[in-house]
Amino acid sequence: MPDITASQPLREHAASANVDDMVLHTLQVDHPAFTAPLYLVNDYSSLTAMLEDGATEVTFVAFGFDFRLPDVEQAQSPELEIAIDNVSREILAYIDLAAQSQDLATITYRMYLASDLSGPCNDPPLQLTVMAVNADVFRVRLQAGFSNFANVRFPREDYTAARFPGLVAT
């Protein structure tokens, strides 16, 4: 199934196999315990690029990681798998902060073309919740997926007499 979030430049890049231009894969890791989000790019040098809002410029720190994008299937919930080798102390400090909290971390996956850093190629970016983390001295593995929609209350809004006086007979 085609990726409907891919921009026209990304589709042209994939169709032409332009070797002079490359796709840069980035991750943004957010958690309420972090003072600032962790921005990573899977490259040898750091990357300064604009986010999808067109007004926020961030620097993604160069860091090698392996990842597997979610499969596009109807039968299962999509999951993003990320493996980071030779984890630096800075990233371990973020992991320790997140481990001490009950809150869940979120990961935002963005793709950029090296020739166009004015915004990500996948709009909207893929935003997932971290479901599991396994860490040892050599590697950190993350599994991220969509929130558990089966346990979300429906309707989400409370219909009370104070907010909706027409619900109560007078």
Q: Quick one: CA torsion of 139, 86, 90, 125, rounded to 10 degrees? A: -70
Kindly state the average pLDDT of the residues 102-124: 87
Could you please report the per-residue DSSP string of 85-124?
A: ES--HHHHHHHHHHHTSSSPPEEEEEEEETTB-SS-SBSS
Task: Scan for tokens 């957010």, then name that residue.
Answer: 30
Q: What is the pLDDT of residues 123-156, one digit of tens each?
A: 788 888 888 888 777 778 888 887 666 666 677 6
SS3 14: helix
Q: What is the predicted pLDDT for the residue at 129?
A: 86
Phi/psi for 113 (5° steps) reads -85, 135
Extract the tokens encoding 48: 């300064």
Question: What's the Cα-to-Cα distance from 84 to each of 27, 29, 92, 144, rounded to whole Å?
Answer: 12, 13, 11, 14
Tokens of 104: 């869940």
Q: Which residue has the higher pLDDT, 137 or 161?
A: 161
**Burial (0-12, 13-18, 19+ Cβ within 10 Å), 21:** middle
What percentage of the chain reaches a pLDDT higher than 70? 76
pLDDT at 50: 92
Reply yes or no on whether the pLDDT at 13 is more than 60.
no
Which contiguous run of DSSP H or E holds residue 11?
Answer: helix 8-16
- Flag whether pLDDT at 1 surpasses 50: no
Q: Strand ranges (DSSP E) for the chain? A: 23-30, 38-41, 47-50, 57-62, 66-68, 79-85, 106-113, 126-135, 139-145
Q: Give 40-97 pLDDT, tens digit per residue.
A: 998 889 999 999 888 899 999 888 888 887 666 665 667 778 888 776 777 777 777 7
